[in-house]
Amino acid sequence: MAQFFVDFLKRYFDLRGDEIRITCHLYADHLERQAEIEHHWLEALGLPPESLHKSVVNVYSKYSKRKRVGNLPYGTCRVVVSRTRIVQTIFGAIQEYAGFDRPEWLD
């Protein structure tokens, strides 16, 4: 899904890779592989190293009993574009396609 969204941004909004930012969300047991995981996401999304923001490490709570170990070997990745025109265009298209009105999205 992230790759689809990045390809969409590049194709329809003519964005370069360095105009798209990503943040990796890792689990505590990913720390020793952090560089490998960040490289994986950059490679998978076709983005340059400049696109990477500081990764976030989610520590396990004492109640989780580490149930999520191994479920997401590369954690998750958040894709961000900081251009108001693009964000409003996407939100406007979602509203039009879905048939509802949320004016606060377009402020």
Tokens at 30, concatenated: 């990913």
pLDDT class of 65 with cuts at 50, 70, 90? low
Whats the size of the chain, residue-wise?
107
> CB atoms < 10 A from the CB of 22, how many?
19
What share of the chain in percent tops pLDDT 70? 91
pLDDT of residue 64: 65
Look at residue 43 and tell me whether its pLDDT is greater than 80.
Answer: yes
In whole angstroms, give the CA distance from residue 24 to residue 34: 9
pLDDT of 61 above 80: no
pLDDT over 70 (residue 66)? no
Predicted TM-score (pTM) of this structure: 0.80
Q: Distance between CA atoms of 22 and 6, rounded to whole angstroms? A: 10
Mean pLDDT of the chain: 87
